[in-house]
Chains A and B, each alone.
Chain A
Amino acid sequence: NAGVTQTPKFRVLKTGQSMTLLCAQDMNHEYMYWYRQDPGMGLRLIHYSVGEGTTAKGEVPDGYNVSRLKKQNFLLGLESAAPSQTSVYFCASARPQTDNEQFFGPGTRLTVL
């Protein structure tokens, strides 16, 4: 089992460009999450999904959109990237019964110039 995978691993964007980060999990988890991690800030929840076709806003959703068309995939989109979105992005998944234990992917390092 690969667990949680993220694509791409690294990306550099110019201000105003768009991109999509892909998260895939093979553990048949219902719940999926997108976080960003910045120095001194810890992990902050951007959006989450409790099932296929459903998404909800987290703590810092502005500037991001998400989609969960398939249970195993959770996409994070940046429509018009800004330097403030330079961060490391982590995807995670969990089972509803034990959602305190979230399984994280390896992260995507995004730099916006």
Chain B
Amino acid sequence: QKEVEQDPGPLSVPEGAIVSLNCTYSNSAFQYFMWYRQYSRKGPELLMYTYSSGNKEDGRFTAQVDKSSKYISLFIRDSQPSDSATYLCAMTRVFSGGYNKLIFGAGTRLAVHP
């Protein structure tokens, strides 16, 4: 069983829709929770990260963490065609040597059509 599960999609929505992207995890040792965005043929870039349970908002994006359910979500309001990308959730736990290791979900491909 993978430590982090993410529905690969694809998810297709009309412009202006609210998008909900989700990941579940099995390891309660995860400390930080992140969302990376990856455009086609590009490297991932960090979109948001959070440490505690609850919501964190940044413009049209809201990251939500529920540690009791081991579930994280990313909401995109007023989605735009420029949001079309693959969204990767990632979580960290301490690796050997005391360094943080990122564990990535498989990514959800999102397409926002005009």
Contact = CB atoms under 8 A, between A and B. Distances in A.
A interface, size bucket: 20 to 34
Contacts of B99: 31, 48, 50, 99
B75 to A, nearest CB: 21
Contact of B102 (A4, A56, A100): A100
A74 interface: no
Interface residues of B, number: 24
Contacts of A34: none
A76 B83 CA distance: 32
B34 A100 contact: yes
A46 B104 CA distance: 13
A79 to B, nearest CB: 24
A42 B49 contact: no
A11 to B, nearest CB: 15
User: Per DSSP, are chain A's interface residues mostly helix, strand or loop, or mixed?
Assistant: strand
Interface in B26-49: 32, 34, 41-46, 49
A42 B43 contact: no
A43 B104 contact: yes
Contact of B32 (A4, A100, A105): A100
A44 B86 CA distance: 16
B111 to A, nearest CB: 17
A45 B103 CA distance: 8
B65 interface: no
B112 interface: no
A42 B4 contact: yes
Contacts of A43: 44, 88, 102, 104
Contacts of B92: 100
A16 interface: no
Interface of B: 4, 6, 8, 32, 34, 41-46, 49, 88, 92, 96-97, 99-102, 104-107
Interface of A: 4, 31, 40-45, 48, 50, 56, 58, 90, 92, 99-107
